[in-house]
Structure 1
Amino acid sequence: MHPEALPLQPGQESVWSYPRPPRLEPTSKHLQIIFNGEVLADTRQAFRVLETSHPPVYYIPPADIQQQYLIPSARSTFCEWKGAGNYYSVVVGEKQALDVGWYYAHPT
């Protein structure tokens, strides 16, 4: 059984309209990631990634991320289009969030 796309409303996008392999779109939107009161990332140089049946995600340049809050995770994934994915957890003060960010060290 395959899910069916719902009719789009004005201003909406459908994940079923996104391409495979994924498409990268540069964006100049101001993106910030804030966790436990700390700004973890702040950029206007991100890429929006669009892939069939997946919600859009943003890739943020490493230079725009506060790396001191990231802890390498044991989790990994593999995508036929992007390669091996490695994950980070975040720790700020006493608060942590597991496997919240990922990167492709050697994208395919």
Structure 2
Amino acid sequence: MSTDGPLPTESVWEYPRPPRVELDGRRLVVIHRGVTLADSRACRRVLETSHPPVFYVPRNDVRTVLLSRSEATTFCEWKGLATYWTLTVNECTVPYAAWSYEAPSPEYETIAGHLAFYAERVDLCTVDGERVRAQPGDFYGGWITAEILGPFKGGSGTTGW
């Protein structure tokens, strides 16, 4: 059997509930319309049962001048109130391109102010040079890489808007 990359090593069904936050030193890059929005080796990765990992990028590693706070919010039973961000780059506006937890629940305070990007709403997201695939659906924001094994929560009918 031939493969195009590493075999999956993490099943999302073995991730914990409630979710766990861990440091991730791999290089994450987010690009839209030829502009690098984020470039970091100091991200936090949130692992939750049935979801691909969500990567939260420290604000210092994000071109925040390209983001404006949206009025939209959602509530996560674990992390608390999420804030959404609109991206404007090269005369292109992308509503809800990113989200953050400005004042998360105490167990998740290490992601406070970090930004997570929806892979399907920008042109390119990579983890150590590997292009990620977006978690199915238009609400969940997990990033699927070669080492992640599903099936994944999401898909048709999973919208939060």
TM-score, normalization: structure 2?
Answer: 0.59
Match of 2:52 among 50, 55, 71: 55
CA distance in 1 between partners of 2:49 and 2:98 (Å): 20
1:16 aligned partner = 13
Q: Let me know the Cα RMSD of the aligned residues.
A: 1.5
The alpha carbon displacement at 1:12 in A equals: 4.1
Match of 1:29 among 26, 31, 35: 26
SS at match of 2:10: coil
More strand by share: 1
Q: What stretches of structure 1 of length at least 5 have no aligned partner?
A: 1-9
The alpha carbon displacement at 1:48 in A equals: 1.0
CA offsets per residue over residues 3-29 of structure 1, 9 Å max, x none?
xxxxxxx42422221111111121111
1:95 aligned partner = 92
Q: Which has the larger radius of gyration?
A: 1
TM-score, normalization: structure 1?
Answer: 0.85
Query: What percent identity do the matched residue pairs reach?
Result: 46
2:137 aligned partner = none
1:69 aligned partner = 66
Higher relative contact order (CA 8 A, sep 6+): 2
1:5 aligned partner = none
The alpha carbon displacement at 1:57 in A equals: 0.8
CA distance in 2 between partners of 1:30 and 1:100 (Å): 20
Q: 4+ residue runs of structure 1 moved beyond 6 angstroms? A: none
Higher mean displacement: 62-71 or 13-22: 13-22
